[in-house]
Amino acid sequence: MAADTVSLSAELARALLQARHAGVPADMRDKTRLHIADSLGIALAARGSALGRQVIDGLLAGHGAGTSGLIGGGRAAPLAAAFINASLIHILDYDDIHDVGRLHPSTCVLPAAMAAAGLADAGDAAVVDAVALGSELMCRLGVICAPQGEGPGSEWFLTQLFGYLGAAAAAGLVLGLDQRQLVSALGLAYMQLAGGKEAGFGTGATARGIYPAFAAQGGLQAALLARAGVTGPAGAMDGAAGLFRLYLAGALSSRQRAMLLDFSAWHARDVDIKPWPSCRLSHPYVAVAMAARDACLAHPEARVRVAVNPSSGRLCRPLAQRRRPATLQDAKYSIPFMTAYTLVHGAPTLRGFSVEVLADEDVLRMAGRIELEDGLPDNPGHPRAVLTLLEQGREISRAQFVAADLRVDAARARRKFEDCLQYAGRAAQAGALWDAIVGVPSCRCATPSPREDSRLGRPGAGIGAPSGRCATPSPGEDSRLGRPGALMQTRLQAAFDMVFKES
3-state percent helix, strand, coil for the chain, nearest multiple of 5: 55, 5, 35
**pLDDT score recorded for residue 503:** 83
The answer to whether 8-273 and 280-400 have equal CATH topology is no
* Topology of the domain covering 280-400: 60s Ribosomal Protein L30; Chain: A; (3.30.1330)
- Tell me if 400 sits within 8 A of 394, measured CB to CB: no
Identify the H or E element spanning 60. Answer: helix 50-63
Residues 455 and 24: beta-carbon distance below 8 Å: no
pTM, two decimals, is: 0.90
Q: Which residues contact 198 (CB under 8 A, 6 or more apart)?
A: none
Q: Mark the ranges of the chain whose per-residue pLDDT is less than 50.
A: 1-3, 443-488
**DSSP states along 273-294:** --SSSS-GGGHHHHHHHHHHHH
CB 91 within 8 A of CB 209: yes
User: Cα 428 to the chain's mean position, in Å?
Assistant: 26
| CA 40 vs CA 28, 86, 271, 276: distances in Å | 18, 10, 16, 16
Integer angstrom CA distances of residue 323 from 297, 326, 366: 19, 10, 9
Task: Please name the residues in contact with 95: beta carbons below 8 A apart, sequence gap of 6 or more.
Answer: 38, 39, 42, 89, 104, 106, 107, 274
* Torsion of the alpha carbons at 343, 349, 350 and 355, rounded to the nearest 10: 0
Residue ranges of domains in the chain: 8-273, 280-400
- Residue-level pLDDT at 441: 53
pLDDT digits (tens, 9 = 90+) for 12-55: 999 999 999 999 999 999 999 999 999 999 999 999 999 999 99
Q: Is the dihedral of CA 378, 382, 383, 384 positive or negative?
A: negative
For residue 213, give the amino acid letter. A
The CATH number of the structural domain formed by 8-273 is: 1.10.4100.10
Q: What gap in Å lies between CA 231 and CA 186, rounded to an integer?
A: 10
**Greatest distance between any 2 Cα atoms in the chain:** 72
Phi, psi of 79, rounded to the nearest 5 degrees: -65, -40
User: Residue 223: what residue type?
Assistant: A
